[in-house]
Structures are given as C-alpha cells and as structure tokens.
Amino acid sequence: MPKYNIDPWEMALNQLGEAARRLDLQKDILRVLSFPRREYTVNFPVRMDDGSIQVFTGYRVQHNAARGPSKGGIRFHPQVTLNEVKALAMWMTWKCAVVNIPYGGAKGGVICDPKKLQVSELERLARRYAFELIPIIGPEQDIPAPDVNTNPQVMAWIMDTYSMHAGYSVPGIVTGKPVSIGGSLGRNEATARGCVFVVLNALKHLDLPIEDLRVVVQGYGNAGSIAARLLAREGATVIAVSDSRGGIYNPKGLDPGAVLEYKAESGSVVGFAGADSVTNAQLLELDCDLLVPAALEKQITADNAPRIKARLIAEAANGPTTPEADCILAEKGVTVIPDILANAGGVTVSYFEWVQSTQSYFWTEREVNLKLRDVMDRAWAAVAAKAEDAQVTLRTAALMLAVERVADAIAIRGVYP
Ligand code: NAD
C-alpha cells in the first residue's frame, strides 16, 4: 500500500492523480488542474478590545474557474494553513462539478481562535479580512460562504463591508447569509439535508432499512448536529455524538435535539445526562452502521481504519479520511460516500441562494428542499453508475465524474491568449 504524507494538499493532489490516471486525462489538463489559479495571502491588523493591535494571517485560494465563478467557505481556526486552504479549494472545484452547478472552487481561512475573541473583535477581524479580499471576490468572481467557526452573522459582516465599498447593497457577494438580507430558506440545514438525501440513496443501494440504522456523528456543529436530527427524524437511532471537547454515547439512543439544547447552554455535548463519556478516538470505533464524520480533516487514518465498525460512512466533513485509510476501508468492504458528494448540499443551496439574491426573487423552503433533493438524487445516480461502470469506489467515481466535467470546460474554452 502506498505511504502518503497526510498533508491535505498532497491528499488532494493524490486523489486528482488517481482520477486522471483512470480517465487517461491529457497531461496538459492535469498540469493545469494541479495548481490553484490564485493563492492570496493577507496579513492584516485588528484593534483588540484592550486597545492593542494584533496582526492576523488569512488566505483565499481560487482553484479553478473554468465552469463559472469560484465558490467556497471561509474557515476561522488556529490550525488553518495555506496547504489546507488549497486542498479545500480544489475539493470545492470537484464538489461543484459533481452536483453540476456552474461554479469553480475556492476556499478561505484566517488563522485565529474565535473562542478567544470577543464578538466585537471577531467583527473587526471579519470585516478587515473581507476588505483585504475585495480585489479578488465579487458576485461574478468569487463568492464566500460559511465554514468551520463562521456563520450567517459573519457572512452579514462580509456582505456589509463589501457593500459599503461598492456604495450599494451587494447580496450576491456571499451565501449562507441571514434570510433577512437575502439569504435562502433552507441554507442553514442544506449540508446536512443533502447528506441525508445521499445516505437514503445509499441505504436503498445496500438494502439497509433506516429503522435499523445506528448512527455515530463526530462534530456537533452546523453539519453534524442537523444531520443527527434529520437522521433521527427519518427513523435512525443516533447512539453517539461528539465535539472538540469529547463525545457522549448511549447504545439505546440519544435525543439529538435535547443534546443540541444542552450544548447551546453548556458549550459542549460533554456531560449530557443519560450518556457515557467517550473520547473522539473511541467514538470513531464504536459499533454502529453509519458513521458521519462532521468535524475536520484526517480523522479516519491508517491507525484507526482497521478498527472502524461502520458499514457506511457519509463524509459530511471535508477530507476526513486519509488515502491510506480509504484503501483499508475499501478492502474491508465499507461504503464511503465521499465528501464531494456527501456534503455538496451546502454549496448546492448556496447556488440557489446566489440565484435568488442576484434576481431578487425568492423561493419557498419547500421549493428549495425539493430542488436540493433533485440535485442530490441525480448526483448520487451519476456517481453510483460511474462506480459500477468503472468498478471503482464511490470516491474515485465522484472524482472521475468531476475531473471529466472540469477538463471538458478547460478544453472547450482553450488557453488564453
Ligand atoms: P461548525 O464549526 O459548525 O462545527 C464543527 C464541529 O466540529 C463543532 O461541534 C466542533 O466542536 C467540532 N470539532 C472540532 N474539532 C473536533 C475534533 N477534533 N473532534 C470532534 N469534533 C470536533 O462547522 P461545520 O460548518 O459544521 O463544518 C464541519 C465540517 O463540515 C467541516 O469539514 C466543513 O468543511 C464541512 N462542511 C460544512 C458545510 C457547511 O455548510 N457548514 C458545507 C460543506 C462541508
């Protein structure tokens, strides 16, 4: 088995190489796709509440824009690195292509610990970062969205900052913004809802009834907590969940809504009454049917993959499985719904939001959810058919489909000048 460095950018390049090899992709196109189009680094000052000035480093990477403006979230986290942002930007290119929406991929990040910042400091940081990005973002150029530790409020600050500089309101500059300023109904739940739609397809494919499904969710933020609630609503039993402080486990089942309320009050799922404590490492290896990693990258590795008991993994998070772990899971017969399909519901409804924002014509939540289901069902069908056809895993199939679509766009547009 090949030995991979688990740097996320190497992981992303490696996945691209594998898809290109299977597609017999032209070397020139592979070369183009192996570089992000733009890597933007900004070091910017922020006045803190105590009067001092701190300098923060942020990135925005635009991987490819052959199919349309680039699109991708913004992450605030102490461990953000340029290579992580580059990988996430490339995955966004593939994700948009898998669900066939007219976008390329981008991602942004600021190295900071939002938990240690006052709200006033966070607002100044978000606004100054947005200001620094003005030359390279725009509703027809590059459209940010929320990611880890950013939310609709942060999007509102970014939209306001951009609009102040334009001299008029530009709601199409970000997605995932509050509904009151042009956000879409259903966007907040979209990543999790899209994930549940593909899980339902996978269950049909595997002939597993949802009522028998014991689910473990790692990460209890936007993607994880909503996925837990929607899966429970569909009839599954959520037996364990976790956040950055640790996990809770009850083999008889947890009430995901009550856990969320407890986390909102206490700051963590840890300590929830009627459940045992588990570490994040133990949580991943619990006896269950469906594992939903919904936290950060590189959680399922060559170390723990041999002990993973889930039959199905739905990657709500981006890049939670290392390539080595992927090989081990495939050998064990575990079905992995890859990130670029499993969490594509978020960017799909972001696209719906952008369409609504730029037309100033808004849809009902029912319309949004029906259109999302349609997109996710079609994407699942295309990926599953490709996997069957090429006799590859769902991840390789999704990558092949995406790379093929982006490569076609590059080839038909040609190289300027
Ligand atoms: P979030 O900030 O709302 O939640 C992240 C959760 O993960 C938090 O509960 C946090 O405590 C937990 N966490 C952090 N480190 C952890 C660890 N080591 N072990 C266990 N839990 C840990 O973020 P989110 O928006 O839900 O994003 C989660 C993942 O989903 C990320 O990989 C993100 O890129 C991906 N994603 C999110 C969206 C979206 O629309 N929000 C869309 C696509 C993909």
- 251 CB within 6 A, ligand 1: no
Tokens for 206? 């595997």
Q: What does pLDDT average to over the chain?
A: 96
Q: Residue 415 C-alpha to ligand 1 middle, in angstroms?
A: 37
Tell me the helices (H) and strands (E) count for the chain, helix number first: 14, 12
Q: Is the CB of 146 under 6 A from ligand 1?
A: yes
Same domain, 252 and 293: yes
In angstroms, what is the C-alpha Rg of the chain? 20
Q: Are 63 and 36 in contact (CB under 8 A)?
A: yes
Same domain, 136 and 240: no
Q: Which atom of ligand 1 is nearest to the CA of 339?
A: 44
pLDDT(4) > 70:
no
Q: Is there an atom of ligand 1 within 6 Å of 295 CB?
A: yes
Considering the domain architecture, whether residues 204 and 280 belong to the same structural domain is answered as yes
Indicate whether 42 pLDDT > 60: yes
Active centre residues (catalytic)? 107
Last residue in a domain, options 143, 171, 199: 171
Pocket flag, ligand 1, residue 346 (CB < 6 Å): yes
Residue 282 and residue 325 in one domain: yes
Domain extent, residue 225, equals 190-337
pLDDT at residue 5 above 90? no
Same structural domain, 122 and 197: no
Helix (H) or strand (E) holding 335: strand 335-337
Residue 80 lies in a domain: yes
pLDDT of residue 95: 98
24-33 confidence digits (pLDDT tens): 999 999 999 9
Q: How far is the CA of 23 from the centre of ligand 1 (A)?
A: 32
Mark which of 171, 200, 226 sits at the end of a domain.
171
Indicate if 194 and 331 belong to the same structural domain: yes
Task: Give the model's pLDDT for residue 385.
Answer: 98
The predicted structure's pLDDT at residue 1: 37
pLDDT attached to residue 6: 74
Ligand 1 centroid distance, CA of 291 (Å): 15
10 assigned to some structural domain: no
Assess whether the C-beta atom of 221 lies below 6 angstroms from ligand 1. yes
Tell whether 247 and 166 lie within a shared domain.
Answer: no
In this structure, the residue with its CA closest to atom 27 of ligand 1 is 148
Tell me the mean pLDDT in the region 265-273: 97
Q: Write out pLDDT tens, residues 185-236.
A: 999 999 999 999 999 999 999 999 999 999 999 999 999 999 999 999 999 9
Interval between CA 408 and ligand 1 midpoint (Å): 32
Nearest residue to 336 (alpha-carbon basis) of 291, 391, 366, 273: 291
Global pTM reads 0.95
Residue 3: predicted pLDDT: 43
Q: Is residue 403 part of a domain?
A: no
How many angstroms separate the most distant Cα atoms in the chain? 65
107: domain CATH number? 3.40.50.10860
- Whether the pLDDT of residue 251 is over 60: the answer is yes
- pLDDT tens-digit profile of 332-364? 999 999 999 999 999 999 999 999 999 999 999
Q: What is the DSSP string of 164-227?
A: HHHTS--GGG-SS--GGGTPPTTHHHHHHHHHHHHHHHHHHHHT--GGG-EEEEE--SHHHHHH
Beta carbons within 8 Å of 204's beta carbon, 6+ residues apart? none
- The full length of the chain comes to 417
